[in-house]
Chains A and B, each alone.
Chain A
Amino acid sequence: MRLAILLLLSLFTFAASTEGIESTEVIESPEAKKGAEVVAFSDESLRPRYHQLLQELRCPKCQNQNLADSNSPISQDLRREIRRMLEEQMTDKQIKDYLKSRYSEFILYRPEVNKNTWLLWGSPVLVVLLGLLILLRHNRKPKPIAGGEISTAIGGAGTASKEAPTKSSDQQRLAELLGDKENQQ
């Protein structure tokens, strides 16, 4: 049962994270179509790659917009450059490297995995692992108690007989102590 809950929880976490990515893309794409000029390609198969690149590349001037959203002059220039490079049969990687060598990694909205970004990329996994660890620890703690004396003591019939002697002996001791005091007084 617990394992099932754990599995469900972790699945949910993964589902939530992928859902997040999808929803942002849904929000961006209509704007992307609005922002981009009407462009002609010699080969229509370049168009989806063009739009994909505009989504993933950041406008260096306007910071929180991608090249598809931004209408700043620098974005217009970069869109033109990307079209030119696509027509020249450059691969997506070559185009990204071209821009990266000029505008630094900042321009990539999907940063590469390297020594600066491993924590960024790894953090979802780390958080899930941490969550699992906490859940496991949390679940393990009550276990010895569950099999032991207290849980049977709580509802069981054995409680009275087991606790009774302790109680009565305590009370006896208490009485003795009180009695002593009273005697002294």
Chain B
Amino acid sequence: MNRLALFIPLALFVGLSLVLLLGLDKDPTDLPSALVGEAFPLFNLPSLKDEQNVVTEQDFNGEVVLVNVWATWCFACRIEHPMLNKLSEQGVKIIGLNYKDQRAGALAWLAERGDPYQFNIFDAKGSLGIDLGVYGAPETYLVDADGIIRHRRVGVVDDRVWESEFRAIYEQITGTEQ
């Protein structure tokens, strides 16, 4: 018994090492989302292209969409943009949430890089951003036909992320093979 007790420090050390080792693989910026499984928050905001035109969550109700949070000040959004164009060509419906941005600059961005969005929500003050728990751009939400958020990605969506995180859920809720 006493001899076994001598191994307690070693066991503690090994245990702690394992815990810390597992922690190394975790991305500390990857926060748990409070909104997956919840309804997309209600909003009432102007569209990017037409200041007079007010858009709400009703505008994509009943459809499976990606809601992509972007801004011209967001460098990673530049990297992500071609992927959004590609997804849009494949028939994925994407709603843009232009987050805390300048209208003119955002429109120029779309003219220059292509417009993969069905429409853009112009959220100058970030109010919908707060309701979504956005803490950086880009962020992408997969919303099902019932308006429920099914997945959230903070950071760039590229081929790898689409394949590993989105594709299966997307195909399941649309009932299609992409």
Contacts and interface: CB of A to CB of B under 8 A. Distances in A.
B32 A78 contact: no
B22 interface: no
B153 interface: no
Interface string A36-54: 0000000000000000000
A60 B130 contact: no
Interface in A47-76: 60-61, 63, 73-74
Contacts of A77: 125-126, 129-130
Given A73-B100, A102-B133, A63 B28 contact: yes
B34 interface: yes
Interface in B131-153: 131-136
A63 B28 CA distance: 8
B35 interface: yes
A102 B130 CA distance: 7
Q: Range of interface residues on chain A?
A: 10 to 19
Contacts, number: 40
A118 interface: no
B32 A81 contact: no
B130 A104 contact: no
B32 A105 contact: yes
User: Considering residues A61, A63, A78, A102, which has the most beta carbons from chain B within 10 angstroms of its beta carbon?
Assistant: A102
A104 B135 contact: no
Interface in A19-38: none
12 contacts: A60-B135, A61-B136, A74-B135, A77-B130, A100-B34, A102-B34, A102-B35, A102-B130, A102-B132, A104-B31, A104-B33, A104-B34
Given A101-B34, A105-B34, A106-B31, 10 more contacts: A61-B135, A61-B136, A63-B28, A74-B126, A77-B129, A102-B131, A103-B31, A103-B133, A104-B32, A104-B33
Interface of B: 28-29, 31-35, 100, 125-126, 129-136
Interface of A: 60-61, 63, 73-74, 77-78, 81, 100-106
